[in-house]
Structure 1
Amino acid sequence: MRNTLLSLSLTLLVFTACGQTVLTHTASTFRFKSAFVTFRANRLTISTGKLTRQWVWTGKGLATHSLRQEHTQKEWCSPTSNQAADWTLPNQDILPTGKLVRITARESDDEGFTTKHLDVVAEVNYPSTGITLRYIVWAYPGLDGLRTQLSVKTDRPISVNSNPIKGIPATSLSVLSATPEKDSTGAPANVLDGDVNTSWKTAVEPTRPDRPNFLVIALNKSQTITGLTLTQPQDYRKVGFVHHCIVYASSDTLNWGMPIGTAELTRAEYPQWIAVTPTKARYLKVVMPATNRVNYPDWQTVVAELTLYSAEFPYVKPVSLQADFLPLPSFSYMRRGMGYYGDTQFRNSLDLPFYKEETKTTAVNSSELWDWNNILSIESQTEGVCLVKESHKTVLHHGHETGEFSCTKQGVSVTGWGISTDELTGEFRECWANWCITYSGGEDERQLAVKTFDRARFPTLLPGHNDIIAGSWGYGVSPEAGWREKMNGGQEKNVLKALSVCQELGIETYLIDAGWTEDTLPTTTTNKFPAFRPHPDAYQHGWSTVKRWADSLHVKLALWAPVSIPAADLEWNQQQVPFTSWKLDFATLSTYQGRKIIEQKIRGFINQFHHKVGAQWDLTEISPRYGFYWAREYGVIWLENKEPNRHILYTPSTTLRDAWELAQYVNTNKFQLPVRNVKTVPSPSDAYLYNQPYAVAIGLVGIPMFFEKLDDYSPEDRRAIKGTLDDYKAERSLLHQSYLFPIGERPTNASFTGFQAVHPNGKQGHFLLFRELYAPSSTHELTIRFLKNKRLKLTNVRTKEIDYANVNAQGQLAFKINHPADFVFYRYEIVP
């Protein structure tokens, strides 16, 4: 790594290369390829060669003054902004005077965890507050985006509001009436007892009730209600959680009138805010439809807590510190929010979307908040700016201090430091980063710009990105497979069998999941050994037998462990077997320190073994884990469990839908996608009506993970799977260099749908298309990307047949798939 350093104050620049030259700040410049940084006359300018952003030193901080696309000369910023800085500080309504300590610049690749870029750091000290802040900018040469990040420390404690207003006192409230509860332990009064571990639970119904469930809350006096919060049940499955609700107000319980508020809620465990039109009332009715676990015939409503707020007892929104700001005139542009849901462990249905997108076109008059999305696009029909929060936020869970996007007439602010005030210390702590990406064009160009920056930020450099993989947790094949059955797959005798099938099918890596350690097996020996070692009941000779067999078959090994595994145990096992990657499970990243410990552990581990090993992050739960835009420099993400168990039952249509929606704004070759044996999945899944190559083909969209008991595949199915994987391997290198886009219809189990892989050279790519089980027609005209008026040479990857086709002026091309529940795989080249 190159460590050239540029250091300056407001009056002096020290430039260090082979020798040292002292320059005045009026001539300070540092370059890396097409990227450069300059500091002249209190103006900091950083450019990638395609995008240039300029800040003004105001005496209080750095405030963005300009954002310019070089190839169009489009200036995005309004010169009327009077921001003191692009950030705010705790407990400071007005930013105090600061001191610009230094600005440094260097070429960096972040210890090999990202692609090479220009790394610029401006350090600012605020003597009156004790806070020192670093504003970090990464400029990747030749890209249309910049990454910014704060890093903060303090030399003194910062006061925290320890007595926030907690709504109308529960002693002033009572439950007047409610839908009958399940039993006395689920009484309605539990929603007002202040204990999130007790709940109101309605009776369980075998079918969806005709009428929604309800609670009527009585106030001891008439008050102006301004809102309420609802806390979901705290148990793992959250049976009967509230998905959406309608709020009514009344003075007499006879006349409820029109709703004063509605809300769509998630399974997250924190109190969720429900805004209402301020209304004077003595009674409040909350109406909630019953919900069920997916594929289960039981319907119920469960609420842990309700808190009401009024003009006398107002809701105080937690302060979210600003991390970046752009003086974009967002009020005159369309705003588009994009985000991913997560919680795939319990959101396994075509009725529950995996991706969310909303647009707003009305003028922004005061403030417009976006608190659920990963991305906010400020755009016209022909160009735009995408702001991306690099954090673990999902649509369903805010995560830890991830903040929001806020649009005003002054511009767009991005809040959420990722550090609460009481987590600041005397050492620099890095906040969530933010991306600012410009593009020219429409949806195609917007998606490509985000994916291009995403790939530079999160490259596929570590092991685990390119290998077809299988895992032992899929060993459970019973409809209600318990942990014991699943963990049996992690025992040596079953791993040895699975490795043989891996070699037969062409699967390149086998993941040994839970079941190999002492803490997951009954102890039948008196031998004393550390917990995170192969259990002697299952591995009599440690790792040696499995390693020797895997080596003989030329199959690599990967290993599962809880994320709490000590670093010393990671090191010990890695020294015994050079595992290509580790699946680290059970993370709940609800504090800065919690996620930093994990990040430091895996970064140190990967560095220790010279980047010959990577991580597999598990994203399946509702609890705050890794999200879609954080920590992917350390490896790949396991997207979702698909098992015979009913709440995560494998269906090809849902798995395909998730992959299709995932491909909107991330690079799918960073995500492991599940492949199941369609012949062993029980009802109500329709998997048995599909064929094995179809199930495999869905996985080819990302990193195919066989989540299956491999020796259950029949000889005929093994041959068919191997042929599909062989076809894929012949194209894999080109596929992984390309950017994948969803095309066709959104999968519904009756769609003609698929994916287009676009190579960066613009001259070639692939189509992987699916005709779902109930798609009515064998021929469908698809709108494809970037190929209007082009003539294509199409090579059928499966049959090797060659054909030619012309894309029309609207970018449309007709494809044919003769039979339902089948797919086609083409390589295309643009020809004269």
Structure 2
Amino acid sequence: MHSNSRLLMFIIFFLSLPFFLKAEDNHCIIQRQSDSVFILKNARVTLKGPEIIASTGKIARAWKLTGQGLQTISLQDLRKKREFAVSNPKAVCDWDLPGAINDTSTAEWLKTTVSEDDDEGFSNRHLQIISEFRYPYAKLMLQYVVWVYPDAVGMRTQIRVKAMPGFDPVNIKDDEGIENRFGNNMATPGPRCDYLPLNFKAENQRRYWGYYNNPGGRHDPSRLMLEEKIVTGYPLFLTEDNDWASGISVEYNQGSEGVCVVKESPKCVNQKAHYTGSFYSSPIGLSVTGWGLSAKEILPERYRECWATWIILWDGGNDGMQLALKKFDRARYPVFPDRDMFLLSNTWGPANPDGAQFTDENYLMKEIPALANVGVELMQIDDGWQKGGRFSDAKGFTPKYKNGWKDLKAKADEYKLRFGLWATAQYVTTEELRKNVDELGFVSWKMDFDHLKDRKDYEDRTQKYRDVMKYAPMKTQFTLCPEYDDPRYGWYYFKEYGSIYFQNIQEGLPEHLTMVPYQVLMQHWLMSKYFNSNKLQVLLQNPKRSNGDRSDAPLHSHSYCFAMGLPFVPCFFQSAQYLDSAGTRELKDFIALYKRYRKSMFTAYTFPIGHQPDNESWSGFQMVSEEGLKDNYLLLFREINNQEAMRKVKLKFLAGKMIKVSNLKTGQIFIRKVGNAGLCEFSIKHPADFLLLKYEVIAN
């Protein structure tokens, strides 16, 4: 039968189904056009015959039901009335599974449901669309899931899959492949999880980016955390493949607008993790591969989730792309200041190199009042507090102390200090996590030494973290550690549970971890480009105790080094007992100042500005509030080898505007006109000093 005739018969069958609306568990099965519109604030989902149209109020994506599944037929920026999808898409289904599902496979549509959901409180509220299909020849059941957030600049898609009786995984291709063509090794796609019929014939460029795993191994200036590559040239005649990036931005009109696609997976530049796939830009559009599970992991008793994909529309050049990405990231991973905003210490900070000595009860009893004195709010006890084992073999997570937590908890309560604890992600049990939260009242967990080798590992961690957080809402959260080159979490995944732990920074041992201020600032600056800073816990070391033979840290002030962490989740990775009196006063005063403005910094969007830190430049961060008019901040560093007391810095989103600027350290207030190119002049008298400024827009 001709494919068009088959499609016509399928549509007639679809429209002739019994028409009814069934409400179950806060969701509705959609089968009647008069009842096919679902609204959540400005988000809207419409089922119109064989089409699904999803709108956030700012962007819209439409799919057509085909005999093979769902096919994207439109991708629109509603604000600019810009259509990014080409007509007549070449792929008849947005997904495939080589060896089982392809463009000729028969898909039996079963139902489409729409519900209001928030992922058990781990995401913002959204409309969830689930379209369910049966593939009779492949013996597979498949759900295509779309999350539509009101007023978001993007959408999230995900495949879930389940085996039917008789399913055979033997001939299914799980991963990307290599094919030798006339002596050249060419990449061949693995399972496709999303497809966008983008126009690669029009003028465009492709920007790929990703962050590295094992940040503790990337301290020297040659090992940047961010990998970014811009590929120019159009039309595309051959397929352009990329297997290291977490994101691609397809940029049109000289880079002023485009489509950003992100893998919600543990993919890192140097760690592909579990079947995280690739991007394929080709004459027929953009394919995203990587289901995140092997065919042998497809179960008959329940659906298993694949890696999700974000599709984000943006304008305003690369600055606008960064903002759009961060806004959608925050829709997916909400900000909970009451749960996640705190200034913590970690007892491993003064390690040389073993920090277990600082888990001794006598030391902790002295550290509690010293931390409270400088303004630290949470003391996290690292490896050594538990009764069983050390490092990656640690088990038995009950306190080793004579009276358990009783004496330490009483001391901490006296000084209004909360607790954090270290644990091995693989071995700590849900019961142990709950028990410690019960006894301490609040625990921020540092989860270490994980190794996520298969889909079961990811599901086990997800279940563990969710169970504990639902058991003690707002009384616990997790900081996930990506140290070492093992498959762990990546940078766009698992952030609903807290934040991601960044680089270990030490005083002098191990040698490669010695704190060098400009190298720390450099990596923080790079991380803030495509990552929301309030989801990154950064470690701030004592510059006066750093080894002066391997670092110029002793030439910097305490407040300069602490300020490098202000846009993030700052971790006081040092001992308050080891501060001298001058250092204590300096940090106490500066932390008190920081706390006055912390919440609006924490909820702002942070961007890198100035020059990439290299120890002789002006560099820093711009923190932009949701509205962008008030409660914005500038944090500018004049590095130690810089010779310029005045410098014009290019600011974001402020070209041609008048701003009122307050120096938070001195109280000085001044007015600045930002140039049409976004440049604004500032003054820092001395090297190795910084400005902390607040600004508001007062006129264009």
* Matched AA of 1:63: Q
Aligned mates of 2:16, 2:540 — CA distance in 1: 57
Please tell me whether residue 668 in structure 1 is matched to residue 668 in structure 2. no
Aligned length: 671
CA deviation after TM superposition for structure 1 residue 343, in Å:
1.5
Deviation of 1:276 after TM superposition, in Å, equals 11
Task: Report the counterpart of residue 199 of structure 2 in structure 1.
Answer: 329
673-682 or 78-87, which deviates more: 78-87
Show CA shifts across 1:391-429 (max 9, x none).
Answer: 111111111110011011111010001111111111111
Q: 1:324 offset after TM fit, Å? A: 0.3
Q: How does 1:657-736 map to 2 (within 5 A)?
A: 657-682=522-547, 683-736=549-602
Aligned partner letter, 1:141: P
CA deviations over 1:489-544 (Å, ceiling 9, x no partner): 1222222222111110101111111001123479xxxxxx9822112xxx100011
Confirm whether residue 137 of structure 1 aligns to residue 12 of structure 2: no
1:563 aligned residue? 425
Once the two structures are TM-superposed, the CA of residue 344 in structure 1 deviates from its matched residue by 1.4
Deviation at 1:700, TM superposition (A): 0.7
Contact 2:57/2:150 (8 A) holds in 1: yes
Per the alignment, in what secondary structure is the counterpart of residue 474 of structure 1? coil
Retained in 2: the 8 A contact 1:54–1:66?
yes
Which residue does the alignment assign to 2:676? 809
CA distance in 1, matches of 2:640, 2:646: 14
Question: SS at 1:679's partner residue?
Answer: helix
* 2:312 counterpart of 1:437: yes
Deviation at 1:769, TM superposition (A): 0.4
Partner of 1:496: 365
Alpha-carbon distance between aligned partners in 2 of 1:793 and 1:152, rounded to the nearest angstrom: 54
Check if 1:78 corresponds to 2:92. Answer: no
**Counterpart pick for 1:597 among 437, 440, 460:** 460
- Residues 1:569 and 1:8: Cα distance change in structure 2 (over 3 Å): farther
Partner of residue 694, structure 2: 827
State which of 352, 359, 366 in structure 1 corresponds to 2:223: 352
| Counterpart secondary structure, 1:454 | helix
Are residues 1:16 and 2:16 paired? no
Q: Distance in 2 between matches of 1:543 and 1:802?
A: 49
* 1:159-179 CA distance string (max 9 Å, x none): 336999xxxxxxxxxxxxxxx
Question: What residue is the counterpart of 1:405 in the other structure?
Answer: 279
Q: Deviation digits for residues 548-605 of structure 1, max 9, x if unmatched?
A: 1111100111111000211121122222112332111111112111111011110111
Match of 1:169 in 2: none
Counterparts of residues 233-244 of structure 1 (less than 5 Å): none
Segments of structure 2 that go 5 or more residues without pairing to the other structure are 1-13
Matched residue type, 2:658: R
Taking structure 1 as reference, are residues 509 and 76 closer, same or farther at Cα in structure 2, changes over 3 Å only?
same
Please name the residue that 1:549 is paired with: 411
CA distance in 2, matches of 1:9, 1:101: 14
Pairing partner for 2:68 from 50, 55, 60: 60
* 2:112 is the alignment partner of 1:112: no
SS at match of 2:621: strand
Q: 1:671 to 1:119 in 2, by over 3 A?
A: same
The 8 Å contact of residues 501 and 537 in structure 2, kept in 1 or not, is answered as: yes
1:391-540 to structure 2, matched below 5 A, reads: 391-426=265-300, 427-461=302-336, 464-476=339-351, 478=352, 481=353, 483=354, 486-520=355-389, 531-535=396-400, 539-540=401-402
Q: Secondary structure at the match of 1:749?
A: coil
- Equivalent AA in structure 2 for residue 448 of structure 1: L
- Please state how far the C-alpha of 1:460 moved relative to its aligned partner: 1.8
**Residues 11, 25 of structure 1: 8 Å contact kept:** no
Do 1:514 and 1:520's aligned partners in 2 also have CA atoms closer than 8 Å?
Answer: no
Contact preservation (8 Å) 2:98, 2:190: no
Which structure shows the higher helix fraction?
2
What CA distance in whole angstroms lies between the structure 2 residues aligned with 1:37 and 1:611?
32
Distance 2:168 2:346 in 1: 47
Distance 1:9 1:540 in 2: 73
| SS of residue matched to 1:573 | helix
Structure 1: how far apart are the matches of 2:167 and 2:39?
A: 39
When the two chains are superposed, the root-mean-square deviation of aligned CA atoms in Å is 2.6
Measure the CA separation in 1 of the matches of 2:30 and 2:233: 53
Q: 1:19 to 1:316 in 2, by over 3 A?
A: closer
The one-letter amino acid paired with 1:599 is: T
The alignment status of 1:573 with 2:436, answered yes or no, reads yes
SS of the residue aligned with 2:585? helix
Return the letter of the residue paired with 1:825.
Answer: L
Deviations 1:431-463 (A, max 9, x none): 111000001221111111001101111112275
For 2:475 and 2:173, the matched residues in 1 are separated by: 50
CA gap of 1:709–1:678, structure 2 versus 1, over 3 A, is same
SS in 2 for 1:128: coil
Counterpart CA distance in 2 for 1:163 and 1:21 is 33
User: Structure 2 vs 1, CA of residues 329 and 629 (structure 1 numbering), >3 Å: closer, same or farther?
Assistant: same
State the one-letter code of the partner of 1:805: R
- Structure 1 residues 807 and 63, CA, compared in 2 at 3 Å: closer, same or farther? same
* d(CA) in 1 for partners of 2:238, 2:189: 18
Q: Do the aligned residues in 1 keep the contact of 2:663 with 2:669 (CA within 8 Å)?
A: yes
Q: Using the alignment, how far apart are the partners of 1:514 and 1:751 within structure 2?
A: 38
Q: Which residue of 1 aligns with 2:99?
A: 91
Conserved in 2, the CA contact under 8 Å of 1:490 and 1:513? yes
Once the two structures are superposed, what CA deviation does each residue of 1:285-323 show, in whole Å capped at 9, x if it has no partner? xxxxxxxxxxxxxxxxxxxxxxxxxx6xx9796752100
* Corresponding residue for residue 361 of structure 1: 232
Structure number with larger C-alpha Rg: 1
SS of structure 2 residue aligned to 1:518: strand
Mapped contact 1:26–1:39 kept (Cα < 8 A): no
Secondary structure class of the residue paired with 1:148: strand
Asked if structure 2 preserves the Cα contact closer than 8 Å seen for 1:771 and 1:817, the reply is yes
Q: Distance in 1 between matches of 2:621 and 2:436?
A: 39
Aligned counterparts of 1:547 and 1:668: Cα–Cα separation in 2:
31
Among 161, 168, 176, the residue aligned to 1:158? 168
Contact 2:445 2:478 in 1 (8 A): yes
- Change beyond 3 A, Cα 1:19–1:423: closer
Cα separation, partners in 2 of 1:271 and 1:362, compared to 1, 3 Å: closer
Aligned residue in 2 for 1:582 = 445
Tell me the SS of whatever aligns to 1:569.
helix
Given the alignment, which residue of 480, 487, 490 partners 1:617?
A: 480
> What displacement does 1:102 show?
1.1
- Partners of 1:26 and 1:41 within 8 A in 2: no
Q: 1:199 corresponds to which residue?
A: none
Is the 8 Å Cα contact of residues 466 and 703 (structure 1) preserved in structure 2?
Answer: yes
Counterpart of 1:640? 503
- Identify the residue that residue 251 of structure 2 maps to in structure 1: 379
Structure 1 318/597 Cα, relative in aligned 2: closer, same or farther at 3 Å? farther
Report the Cα offset of residue 24 of structure 1.
2.4
Question: Matched residues, percent identical?
Answer: 33
1:216-231 matches, within 5 Å, as none
In 2, distance between residues paired with 1:385 and 1:77?
10
Query: In the alignment, what sits opposite 1:630?
Result: 493
Match status 1:793 vs 2:644: no
- Cα drift, residue 12 of structure 1: 3.0
For residue 127 of structure 1, the aligned residue among 129, 136, 141 is 136
